[in-house]
Structure 1
Amino acid sequence: MTSSKSTSATPVTTRAPAKTVTTTQTPTNFLSSRTTSTTTQMITQSRLTTTPGTCVNGGTWIQDRCLCPSGYSGDRCELRKTRCQNGGQWDGLKCHCPKTFYGPRCEFAVEQVELDTVDAEVGMEVSVQQDFTSELNDNTSEAYMNFRKTFQNQMQKIYQNVQGFKDVKILSLRNGSIVVDYLVLLELPFSVQMESTYENVKTTLKKELQNASQDQDNCQNNQALCFKPDSIKVNNNTKTELTLEAICRRAAPQSYEDFYFPLVEKNKLRCVTNCTSGVDGAIDCNQGQCFLERSGPSCRCFFTDTHWFSGPRCEVAIAWKALVGGLVGAGALLLLLVAPSVFVVCSRSRRKNGQGRGGSLDNDTRWLEMWDENTVGTFTNSGFEDDRTVKEENFHVDLENVDTSMKVYIQRPEMAMSSL
């Protein structure tokens, strides 16, 4: 990996700070002025199990189940709960973040990465004068691991004086004596002539191995590997791209590579973003702070005791009093808009109810209009006409004097339907 120093944020208050020209800004709680409290360790209880057993990851077996420490779950506390993002590691109290992320949960990408050295790789191939066995096909076999250890130790001695050399890594072993495909891992000091330096190192690696392969006395030692001088090759298929843009893409946080660009200062490379203060194209968030999202740089606005800031660049300042007054005014306006509608609905409801009662009055009126005192078989009672109430003393039918032979003619009443 590239040796680098990442610039991340350090805590400050949530009130709008004075503008600065430093290359870092500070994370802020944008919802309240209270800082995030430290997560306390809690004990979680796993599901009930019927078979007694051993709890892992610090769990304790009590009666018929495991009691798991914070961060673990499962019947045996074998499942790890992920609290930290972007590869952060939880230690029971907080997240330890990779160098390219920061925040309580490692949720924020750093705004810039500073590089003093650059990682590089050189692919090589060499044949060892030794019989190949089938066990060397299995990288978990004892023969393979012994060969790998011997090869790495010998290569470290051969390459110890090569600029930037760190280690070697075996990629594969093939038949043909023993053909070794391997990588030489480098850490080169950064300079604007990185590609030229890289090519010189490749030449030096091949030369050093050729010199070691011609040392016949060393090959007589059973503890040393003998290399065939004519088998040494440099594999250009694994060449490391060392343009400034390529270096920054490799150094940038994963999934954020498109937002970093190189800025050279003396013998140091800075991979910066539009959230980095003081660079061309830097975003001015005014009363806010620039954060690098997966979709790109964006502003998150501050608030103070007297103002709240909004807008794409936090350029709009709204006084709390004005905001509260606006909300009250909006509520009053909404009430004025809704009140007429409610009044209309209530009026229509009352009108419908009145029409229902009016239908009964209309029916009574029609009965009176149809009454004819000259028609045989009809009768009236003044009590209905006076005050619309039944007066029992005025309503009496003498059934004993009724002539049952007389025909009675009754006018069929008309029915009027009314909606309720």
Structure 2
Amino acid sequence: MNGGSWNGEICLCPNGFTGDRCQNRVPTVACQNGGMWDGLKCQCTSLFHGPRCEEVVDSIEIDNTVSATVEVSVTVTNHNYSEELQNKTSKEFKEFNKTFTEQMEHIYDGIPEYEGVVINSLRKGSIVVDYDVILKAKYTDKYESVLQNVSSTVREKIENATKYYIVTNNSCPESLCFNSSATNVQNTSWILNSSMFPSEQCQKQAGEEYAKYVFLESKDNKLQCVTACSTGYKTPWTATMANANCSRSGPQCICLTTDTHWYSGETCDRGIQKSLVYGLVGAGVAVLLVILVVLSVFSMRFRREAKRQTFKVSQMQKWNEEEGKTPGAVHNVGFDHNEEGENYVHLDSMYSNFEGLPTPYKP
């Protein structure tokens, strides 16, 4: 009821409802990061945990293995072929299969990746057995080379066994003896025991909204889905938690500010010393003060010089006014003060020298 959903065991109730059918109202509880309230607690996605799904998990383990099959053919010489062996439900086939499987376990003992054998066919001559050796290993980036080495060990063991378990003097040291020259180890093939690669599994478990925040990492021979908030991994993308906290709205780093540093960057890996910043700021302020002082000195000198020039001009204007001269007019000071030159002849003096002389005769 009330928008609840059945998960196969219980009803997952939306916020505000509880009960075995989500029929009872309760105070609304806000589950974060895609969590769903089941009436009692927040059901968190695989990437988050906490009372409100507010914390990011450190990692998600991926149990992913790789299987390999090695195709082998051997010839059993101390048993006779019969048509009943073609029927895998017959008593003869079941008995032969049990004997063959037990002896193969003994032959391949010591191979950790060995999972068993599967008989594909039985043919005449005496009994030609075509079977697969099943190998299984943990997924790593180098899984192909690991399984290739294991396949080489499988070849070595079966070839040695078929050379040792042979009929001698009409007796066989084991339940089955072989024709050593007829042993044939063929193709090796391997497949992931999952429909998707581990990195894709990480993204699926994180959900579409947070898929971009998770990536694959290996630790203690186990594959882990980790985020930038995870610690203790080799990847350079994981945050140093001494410098960061993890966002409660998703696996993102929130950089810290300590007494000595400011931290920044996607994973808070870039630290700046406060003392260095304060020193640079102090030096900048000091340089700025020096520049202001120099400018102030030049400004004062400029103002004093401007006042001095203004005073000179006003004095000249005052003198001109006292002498009856129009300020701004052009005056020849030499003429104004009758300052004659050396070659100047005053006409009045010249005329005075001729006064008293007789008047010239006129006929």
Q: TM-score range by the shorter chain?
A: 0.3 to 0.5
Using the size of structure 1 for normalisation, the TM-score is 0.36
Using the size of structure 2 for normalisation, the TM-score is 0.41
Larger Rg: 2
